[in-house]
Amino acid sequence: MSIEFLPVLFFIIALFYSSVGFGGGSSYLAIMSLFISNFYEIRSTALILNLCVVSIGTFVFVKNKVFDLKLFWPFLVSSIPLSYFGAQLRLSQTTFFLILGTSLILSGGFMLLRYVKAKLVSKEFQLPKKLALGGSVGFLAGISGIGGGIFLSPVLNLLNWANPRTVAALASVFILVNSVAGLLGLSVAGTLEIDLSLLWKLVIAVLLGGGIGSYLSNKKFNLRILGGLTAILVIYVGLRLVLLHAFGIKI
């Protein structure tokens, strides 16, 4: 497939992810890794696109009064500095792609968790647990370029922490602040690299997809099939990266 098809693919990805409160970073990273060899550019571009998509979603959640700072702040306050720190780490290309591949496999698995109906009986979610969860996911977000909501949201849904719309709103804000922190970290480290000729096309695509997806999320539109296919794609690319960079096996 030609790189010229990326805007179309990214429009579809943003449409799905924004409908469930995510930014789409895992899928952007997965697809860009098939076309772009510069991993600094891959990470930088994914964070910018995350920011574009979830800005729309966050605005919609705030407008519809789903945003609740009293509930959200512990996850955010621990994640922001760790995302900033993680983005400044200088990794070798092999290490980055192994971390990315593993993260994509986990992302796909967590996406599929959205369709698991079982709920764990959760005890009171104490502040230390919120800080630990937010911080660990934020650190991974900074290193990989994945916004982190795709890990946070399914865990909270599984633990029955809050209703799905509140969790989606938290995921959207979480990705927003951690994408900003990650980009600042890359900039300070001197590893913020973008191809403007490609970036503007992708930004337009994800803004359109993100806007439509955010609208559908408030209409409770069902995108289960698209979500399942996206999860399978993410897992496949993750396996491909791990096998290629760890064992030299191409699939």
**Tens-digit pLDDT profile for the chain (251 aa)?**
577 888 998 998 888 777 766 667 788 888 888 888 888 999 999 899 888 888 887 888 888 888 888 889 999 999 999 999 999 998 888 998 999 899 889 888 887 876 666 566 565 678 999 999 999 999 998 998 888 888 888 888 778 888 888 888 898 899 999 999 999 999 999 999 999 999 999 999 988 988 887 777 655 555 566 667 778 878 888 899 899 888 888 87
Buried b vs exposed e over 60-73: b needs ≥16 C-beta within 10 Å? bbeeeebbeeebbe
Task: Return the structure tokens found at 238.
Answer: 């993750």
pLDDT at 20: 66
pLDDT at 136: 94
**Cα(202)–Cα(197) distance, rounded to whole angstroms?**
10
3 state SS of 203? helix
Q: Is 240 helix (H, G, I), strand (E, B) or coil?
A: helix
Query: Which two three-digit tokens encode residue 52?
Result: 């574009």
Q: Which helix (H) or strand (E) holds 31?
A: helix 25-35
* DSSP character at residue 148: S
pTM for the predicted model, two decimal places: 0.86
Contact call for residues 81 and 180 (beta carbons, < 8 A): no
Residue 21: the pLDDT is 62
Rounded-to-integer distance, Cα 99 and Cα 209, Å = 28
Say how far apart CA 226 and CA 212 lie, in whole Å. 15
How far apart are alpha carbons 135 and 222 in whole angstroms? Answer: 31
Q: Which of 66, 233, 87, 92 is nearest to 163 (CA)?
A: 66
**Measured between alpha carbons, how far is 60 from 167 in angstroms, rounded to an integer?**
14
Task: Give pLDDT, residue 226.
Answer: 64
Q: What is the pLDDT of residue 234?
A: 81
Q: Please answer whether residues 90 and 191 qualify as being in contact, where contact means their C-beta atoms are separated by less than 8 angstroms.
A: yes
Three-class SS of residue 78? helix
